[in-house]
Amino acid sequence: MSTCLSEHLSHLDADPHECALWVLLKRAGSADRNVRQKAVRDLAENHHWHEYQYRTAAQAVDQRTSIALARTPNVDLRFFLPPPALPAGGLWCFGGNGLPYAQSLTSVPAEKVESFCLDALVQHSKVPSHCEKIVSNGGLQLLRRVYQLRWDSQKIQRNVVRIIGNLALNENLHTAIMQSGWVSILAEMLQFPLVMQASHAARALANLDRDAVSEKYQDGVYVLHPQGRSSQPIKADILFIHGLLGAAFKTWRQRDRDHTEEGHATKDRENYAECWPKSWLAADCPNLRVLSIEYDTHLSDWRAKCPAENQRKSLAYRSQEMLEKLKVAGVGDKPVVWVAHSMGGLLVKKMLLDAWKDPALQPLVKNTKGIMFYSVPHRGTFMAEYSLNVRYLLFPSIEVKELCRDSPALRELNENFLSMVREHEFKVLSFTEMLPTSVGPMIKLHVVPAQSADLGIGDLIQVDVDHLNICKPENKDSFLYKRSLQFIRDAMGGHVVH
């Protein structure tokens, strides 16, 4: 590209605006990383390019520059070529070994069957050797077709991009992903107002951007901030870990309100935070990297495939799985604050204890500055004892069994954790619910009573909400959010910009 650009520059007339575009395009391909990254920023920040200049740039940029532009906040989407046309024929299945049915690309399969197949493909995309087979059998084109056909299904679109994010963990597949037109789709999705859609796109693009990102984000690890390239230096990490039946986004949404005054509902809805760590915390602490972690949890064994599969759901297994993902994401290299809801707090304790015993992971413990617990059952929960009375707890999974009140395993976990906290002097803040939660049509109970939420160290604050809303502040001015923000700033010390 540089030879062609040099020849073009030598024949340009004196139009400085035209010359500037070609100079920036040439610099974007520089061998100097700082030069090319500044050139990308200058390209994106100049909003005076003509239509034909955007087309020229889209055709001239290389793969690295195109990905860099896609991760530049609010980039003009005219910098990207439209995705290439999809083949007219083909099958939905991959060589007969991937999806459990085949159908012409020109017809639309039933959405339920399609969702089932995508779920299977998500699992395949977690296995590196399967990723190459997916791509070699036309999977990138297939996923584009599904994405186009199901434009009205947010769930299907998220699952499709989740698969792309998993494929992007394999650097040998980056060229294929680029050539199949996915970068322009991801750039557009990154600008979606929906937090979940944008976050899935952000993860996929970060895994593609090897020029500016050294970390890799495995399945279930989402960057809430910054979701694109940023000139703001990241000084510390904050991790959000959900609890039983929670999720990376819905657990941390703003608390829903009952609107009684006319006009307030519309106003509040405009400012509603689908995910307060992304909407509020990122604005209040811009030089933090905010991560949210998602993992599967189950209340019962209704769908357990086999005992071995169920064992994968134990706290010990979850800890090792999560530590591996966090290490690849670079967590532990900078100061860290953990924020956990319910069972997620037990997982955080187990992870830190496991890291404490592993010399390769001890930087994670040393860099931990604070932990914030939202109604974490340090001493178990009464909820696990309702397994004989509540239908959806008829066959408690390992996760629920581990939550039994005063279980020896929880007691040992807590004692060991307190020893580690005292040695490393983490800051600790615990919130506990004061209102009962509906866990069935006829049952209301305090899922985590105050005595169980009391870790035995740090401050314990009682809040007039139920178990589900303890981690959902009503608004930015609420005590719950302000006290949480204060704790994060205090724990991080000089690492957070106010």
In percent, the amount of the chain with pLDDT more than 90 equals 66
Tens-digit pLDDT profile for residues 107-141: 555 677 788 889 999 999 999 999 999 999 999 99
> What pLDDT shows up at residue 266?
40
> What pLDDT shows up at residue 415?
94
Query: Which residue intervals of the chain bear CATH 1.25.10.10?
Result: 81-215
Shortest CA distance to 205 belongs to which of 224, 225, 182, 221?
Answer: 182
> What pLDDT shows up at residue 158?
96
Mean pLDDT of 78-103: 63
Contact in structure between 80 and 74 (CB atoms under 8 Å) = no
Q: What is the DSSP string of 375-439?
A: S--TT-BGGGGGTTTSGGGSSB-HHHHTTBTT-HHHHHHHHHHHHHHHHHT-EEEEEEE-S-EEE
Mean pLDDT of 143-147: 93
Query: Which residue intervals of the chain bear CATH 3.40.50.1820?
Result: 232-495
> What pLDDT shows up at residue 155?
92
> What pLDDT shows up at residue 302?
36
Tens-digit pLDDT profile for residues 409-439: 888 999 999 999 999 989 999 999 999 988 7
Tens-digit pLDDT profile for residues 347-379: 999 999 999 999 999 999 999 999 999 999 998
Contact in structure between 143 and 90 (CB atoms under 8 Å) = no
Question: pTM score, two decimals?
Answer: 0.88
CATH number for domain 81-215, candidates 1.10.150.110, 3.40.50.300, 1.10.510.10, 1.25.10.10: 1.25.10.10
HSE-up of 64 (CA within 13 Å, CB side)? 16
Looking up tokens 């870790």 gives 455
> What pLDDT shows up at residue 373?
98
> What pLDDT shows up at residue 179?
96
Which of 322-336, 440-454, 468-482 is predicted least confidently?
440-454
Per CATH, the homologous superfamily of domain 232-495 is Alpha/Beta hydrolase fold, catalytic domain (3.40.50.1820)
Contact in structure between 488 and 238 (CB atoms under 8 Å) = yes
pLDDT bracket for residue 444 (50, 70, 90): confident
Mean pLDDT of 293-313: 55
